Amino acid sequence: MVNSKITRPIHKSTFLLLLMTLLFAFGCGSAPTVIVVLTPTWTSTASPTAGPTQTQVPPSLTPTPTPFVPRAVLKIFVQSPLSGGQANAGTDILRGAELAVLQLSDSLVEQGYKVELASYDDQNNAETAQKNASEIIADPQVLCGLGHYNSRVTLRTSNLYHEAGLALVAPAATAGLLTDRGYLEVNRVIGRIDGQGIAAAQFAKDQGFSSVYIISGRSEALKNAEYFRLEADRLGIQVLGMVITSLTENDMRSIINRLMESKPALVYISNPVDEAIPFFQKARTAGYVGPFLGTEALNDPQAITTSADPSLVKDGGLYYTITSPPANFYPEADQFIRDFEASYAATPRLFAARAYDAAGICLKAIEEASTAINGEIPTRAQVANAIRALKDYQGITGTYTFNGQGDPTLAQYYVYRVVSVDNATWDQNFIAASYAVTPP
């Protein structure tokens, strides 16, 4: 509080001590995005006092803060569904990115830059996402970004980012085609969907299964089945048969007959959950007592708990691979989870932590690209090249180095074990193993 009137003189040494104390106190403060320059302003309403032993001293010291004026504004963008049926997942992606910008921008701020996050609602719709992408690309301050939730949406917008030379780091899109095109600008911090077959075969070997019968759908599902077959063969697991089918009623009967004749130690299946569950039930009824091992296509708790009976998890049980576990599975994510819960009063879901890492990679690449040109603002091309040049980036979901296609050189896959098909006890199911796989 500033006094409007002085009732007694202040000794010169007392004033100097006060002045030094104030300057030291203000000088030691810190703020993440604002630098305050203190300019003393002398003001007084005291009456002058004459006399050789009296000194006229300003009765108040008013620091005038000068706001931080950045050299430039640097932006990264995030696109995710913030409305509609996938809004929960999209909001988590946004929040993970927000925390990263808040916590990981210090180096750029110290260089005099203001860092902003530009958020867009893609509504999980390709056309909406493309319109947003055009707006993002038109903003020269945007140097990098992350998104989307859905692989199909990411594929559509990534063409535009590529044409504009704008780097993208995908936290959730697993489609193989995303990186198969070899765009310099397109990267991801999650395993490809078709790497699951390799991880599943390694798990089968570790569990001691000596033989397997493979059932597969088409498209991406077939890639997983084929990679499983190749890896199983390499590891010495005998493949007793492989069928490519959509598992109609007629198909199921003939396949189960062949399966029972071959007597495999394991059944590997890459079909979707609505085909797989009826097949599992019929195979159990026919007398198959071994385990089933599937892909992320089975990662649908509602479908399993509403259509499977307890026989599914008896005997050998059910396993399936997934590309992203809950955040609490990552040993390095403890602080992130605490910060997320404190900021949003919610627990992070599947992709919040990966979004944090995707945003962190953008920020680190901008920093590296800027440092290489003496602190100046890098071009989008320089940022895209800096992402590919990163070595062993330490994220909270893993350590990232990218290959020439933009995939992590080692991607983590996880094997989920289902021991209960009851919705009330679904939490008893757990991640049984994880594998680092080189992209196929």
Q: Is residue 430 part of a domain?
A: yes
> Rounded mean pLDDT of 48-72?
55
**Angle (CA) 134 138 140, round 5°:** 145
The answer to whether residues 149 and 294 belong to one domain is: no
Share above pLDDT 70 across residues of the chain, in percent, rounded to a whole number: 85
- The answer on pLDDT for 382 being more than 90 is yes
The pLDDT score that the predictor gives to residue 322 is 97
Question: Residue 319 — φ and ψ, nearest 5°?
Answer: -130, 150
Binning pLDDT at 50, 70 and 90, where does residue 168 land?
very high
For residue 395, count other CB atoms closer than 10 A to its CB. 21
Which CATH number do you get for residue 132? Answer: 3.40.50.2300
The answer to whether residues 280 and 218 belong to one domain is: yes
How far apart, in whole angstroms, are the C-alpha atoms of residue 133 and residue 161? Answer: 7
- The answer on pLDDT for 6 being more than 60 is no
How far apart, in whole angstroms, are the C-alpha atoms of residue 69 and residue 79? Answer: 28
Give the pair of three-digit tokens for residue 80. Answer: 């995710």
Q: Is residue 304 part of a domain?
A: yes
The pLDDT score that the predictor gives to residue 66 is 64
The answer to whether residues 178 and 221 belong to one domain is: no
Handedness of CA 131, 133, 137, 141 (dihedral sign): positive
- The answer on pLDDT for 30 being more than 80 is no
The pLDDT score that the predictor gives to residue 251 is 85
Prior bond of 148 cis (ω within 30°): yes
How far apart, in whole angstroms, are the C-alpha atoms of residue 173 and residue 49? Answer: 77
The answer to whether residues 179 and 221 belong to one domain is: no
How far apart, in whole angstroms, are the C-alpha atoms of residue 100 and residue 351? Answer: 13
- The answer on pLDDT for 51 being more than 80 is no
The answer to whether residues 284 and 347 belong to one domain is: no
Binning pLDDT at 50, 70 and 90, where does residue 32 land?
very low
Range 103-134 burial, b when 16+ CB lie within 10 A, else e: bbbebbbebebbbbbbbbbbbbbbebbeebbe
Residue 7 or 248, more confident = 248
Nearest to residue 76, comparing CAs of 110, 99, 42, 52? 99
For residue 22, count other CB atoms closer than 10 A to its CB. 14
> Rounded mean pLDDT of 36-62?
38
- Enter the pTM of the model: 0.83
Q: How many domains does the chain have?
A: 3
Q: Is residue 2 part of a domain?
A: no
- The answer on pLDDT for 50 being more than 60 is no
Q: For all residues of the chain together, what is the average pLDDT?
A: 87
The answer to whether residues 179 and 211 belong to one domain is: no
188 in Cβ contact with 179 (< 8 Å): yes
How far apart, in whole angstroms, are the C-alpha atoms of residue 262 and residue 309? Answer: 25
- The answer on pLDDT for 331 being more than 70 is yes
Domain boundary at 23, 50, 66, which? Answer: 66
The answer to whether residues 185 and 239 belong to one domain is: no
Q: Is residue 356 part of a domain?
A: yes
Q: Is residue 363 part of a domain?
A: yes
The answer to whether residues 393 and 421 belong to one domain is: no
The pLDDT score that the predictor gives to residue 12 is 40
Query: How far lies 405's CA from each of 185, 186, 435, in Å?
Result: 9, 8, 21
Q: Is residue 7 part of a domain?
A: no
The answer to whether residues 317 and 204 belong to one domain is: yes
The answer to whether residues 136 and 80 belong to one domain is: yes
What pLDDT, in 10s, does the model give residues 267-325? 999 999 999 999 999 999 999 999 999 999 999 999 999 999 898 988 789 999 999 99
Q: What is the largest CA-CA distance in the chain?
A: 116
- The answer on pLDDT for 19 being more than 60 is no
Give the pair of three-digit tokens for residue 91. Answer: 């909001």
The answer to whether residues 287 and 207 belong to one domain is: yes
| Site of tokens 């002058």 | 48
Q: Is residue 102 part of a domain?
A: yes
What pLDDT, in 10s, does the model give residues 216-271? 988 778 999 999 999 999 999 999 999 999 888 888 999 999 999 999 999 999 99
Binning pLDDT at 50, 70 and 90, where does residue 205 land?
very high
Its domain, for residue 284, covers: 194-322+415-437
For residue 393, count other CB atoms closer than 10 A to its CB. 18
Q: Is residue 270 part of a domain?
A: yes
- The answer on pLDDT for 194 being more than 90 is yes
The answer to whether residues 303 and 333 belong to one domain is: no
